[in-house]
Amino acid sequence: MAEHDLTQRMIPSLDRQLVFPLLEFLSSRDVYQADAILQAKVELLSGTGMVDYTGELYKQLHNTDQLPAEFDEKRAALIKQLTESEHKTKHIREVIENPEVADALRQDKLQNMKLLQDSYQCTPEMVLELYSFGQLQYSSGNYGGSADILLHFSILSTDPELTLSALWGKLASEILLGNWEVGLGDLLKLREIIDKTHFKTPAEQLQQRVWLLHWSLFVFFNHPKGRDGIVETFMLPHYVSTIQNACPWILRYLVAAVITNRRKRNMMQDLVKTIQQVSYMYQDPVTEFVEALYVDFDFDRAAAKLEECESVLENDFFLTHAVDDFVENARFFLAEVYCRIHKRIDMEALTTRLNMKSEDGEKWIVKLIRESRMDAKVDFKEGTVIMNSSYNPVYQQVIERTRNLVFRSQVLNGAIDKNSNPNKKDDAKQKGKQPRAAKRQETAVAA
């Protein structure tokens, strides 16, 4: 199933250390060769400060107990950097961790910096050093320390670019710590900043949104309310445009979120349009299932794609725990559409399409009809479901379609009158003033 694996497409939009969980997951699957995964891990972590762990992986890869001298040199350099940075930031960390100082800080960052300089002898250089220290902590795998330090920096820094970078670092730290509630808050804050910031070029803002779409998958597929969040975020116009232009493979996760969350089924129509628009660039069994069901109404193809979806989702890092949910709800969507466009349904044929046993399939279909409140009658002797027509009479359809016609006509007439008689209001004002003027004249004559 390597052809449907998205890891290589997603790596450019993820931080090195966020990629590692994906490789760890793939190593437990038979998607790629074990040596290839191990080699990828070593190359990935060689650019971080996780020297000891990288060394262990290097030994496994080359089947040796000896490490090259460069590992010792890199470890010594890293320890030196950490020691120096820790010493440089000791004073300012002690200050900002003081509860009295924390209570005194306000929204105005310039005022905060003045307070720290005048009262606690903390310089802007010390604040900048916090950023470097946070980076070193993150690179070394101390995600708890990096999250705290980068949070302090983002509160104090007056540099918008470094503040944005620190927020990305904090989000990555919370993801790797598994703090999904805090991570969701950081994610929403980043989304707000990205949407409101005027970047130097549109391409830069597009890149930020691409990163947000990829990084958010960690949070949305682990947070209890994540499947609502992913639909609400990914279906925003700016993010739909980003998916269409830069990362169409993200549609797999959006489709999975909509299908496994029946409360968002009203989004299916817009989702189908997006799938059709990018189908020439990207397709996989998940998107093809929706296209076969809602565009072509090809139920045999949809059933075949649903079977393929199981293996695709099982080998997807983000969706592997949603396989049963996805299959159950996908069957619901397939059966619902099938029932709504057929008048007489053979339960055995539908059960076969749903890839279920005959007895289980019949019970499932009856449950579907009850839950979806379909107007249908089940004939167990014949093994059929008879759908009762629920079409509105023609006159009712006319009423529904013309319900707002009178209101729209009035608005249109008002707009036409306003454009055709621009001086009408002024004339009315003048007419309203004339009686008052005449009254004043009469009062003056009487006096």
Tens of pLDDT, residues 231-285: 999 999 999 999 999 999 999 999 999 999 888 888 898 999 999 999 999 999 9
Task: Out of 9-18, 209-218, 283-292, 401-410, pick the least confident.
Answer: 401-410
Instruction: Considering only residues 105 and 67, tell me which one the structure prediction assigns the higher pLDDT.
Output: 67
Question: What per-residue confidence (pLDDT) applies to 437?
Answer: 47
**Radius of gyration over every alpha carbon of the chain, rounded to an integer in angstroms:** 32
Count of positions (residues) in the chain: 447
Structure tokens at 99: 């509860």
The total of other beta-carbon atoms located within 10 Å of residue 303's CB is 21
C-alpha to C-alpha distance for 217 and 50, rounded to whole angstroms = 24
User: What is the model's pTM?
Assistant: 0.81
Between 124-139 and 109-120, two packed helices, what is the crossing angle to 10 degrees? 100
Judge whether residue 43 has pLDDT over 60. yes
Q: Please state the φ and ψ torsions of residue 295, each to the nearest 5 degrees.
A: -105, -50
**271-to-4, 164, 316 alpha-carbon distances in Å:** 20, 31, 21
The total of other beta-carbon atoms located within 10 Å of residue 238's CB is 14
Question: What per-residue confidence (pLDDT) applies to 445?
Answer: 43
Instruction: Considering only residues 20 and 350, tell me which one the structure prediction assigns the higher pLDDT.
Output: 20
Structure tokens at 196: 């409101």
Considering the chain, what is the average pLDDT of its residues? Answer: 85
C-alpha to C-alpha distance for 84 and 414, rounded to whole angstroms = 74
The b/e string for 93-129 (b: 16+ C-beta within 10 A; e otherwise) is bebbeeeebeeeeeeebeebbebbeeeeebeeebbbb
Tell me the Ramachandran region of residue 141: left when phi exceeds 0, alpha when psi lies from -120 to 50, beta otherwise.
left
Task: Out of 30-44, 183-197, 412-426, pick the least confident.
Answer: 412-426
Of 111, 185, 188, the C-alpha closest to 147 is 185
Average of per-residue pLDDT across 339-343:
77
C-alpha to C-alpha distance for 232 and 250, rounded to whole angstroms = 14
Q: What is the pLDDT of residues 181-234, one digit of tens each?
A: 999 999 999 999 999 988 989 999 999 999 999 999 999 999 998 989 999 999
C-alpha to C-alpha distance for 71 and 79, rounded to whole angstroms = 12
SS (H, E, C) 312-362: HHHCCCCCHHHHHHHHHHHHHHHHHHHHHHCCEEEHHHHHHHCCCCHHHHH
DSSP state of 280: T
3-class DSSP state of 384: strand
What ranges make up the beta strands (E) of 9-158?
A: none
3-class DSSP state of 378: strand
Judge whether residue 441 has pLDDT over 80. no
